[in-house]
Amino acid sequence: MINNKGASEVMKFIKPKTTKKKVTWEISDKTLTILNYYSKYSQYSEEEIVDMFLENLLEDEGFIEWINKQRYKKRIEAILQDCELVSQMAVAEPKSQLEEGENE
């Protein structure tokens, strides 16, 4: 695809929506108020905001290292396949292994 400036762009396809599961949990009034206002501001539903925000946890290198050390991690890996940040999980593992190899 070429834009009006002559530069080519890569077209991104729309991914299917992931299955949703109804959950019941309690959060503080403060958090609910923030979520409500942010939903109005961004025009995303509160559920969509929580989904997008929690995907940012995949930037936590400690969390990714912890996942990679888990014995039974196929379920979490399957769930994370649709996350945009999952590529960072794949990059973080070889990087940490490379750093461990250098320190030995």
pLDDT digits (tens, 9 = 90+) for 51-95: 888 888 888 889 888 888 888 888 787 777 766 555 555 555 555
Is the Cβ–Cβ distance between 79 and 104 less than 8 Å? no
Q: Is residue 4 part of a domain?
A: no
Q: Which domain holds residue 40?
A: 20-53
In a domain, 48, yes or no: yes
Q: What is the pLDDT of residues 10-50, one digit of tens each?
A: 777 767 667 778 888 899 999 999 999 999 999 999 998 99
Crossing angle for the helix pair 61-69 and 86-103, nearest 10 degrees?
Answer: 80
Residue 26: predicted pLDDT: 92
Residues 49 and 71 in one domain: no
Token digits of residue 42: 């961004």
Residues 65 and 104 in one domain: yes
Is 87 within the bounds of a domain? yes
Contact between 36 and 44 under an 8 Å Cβ cutoff? The reply is no
Indicate whether 2 belongs to any domain. Answer: no
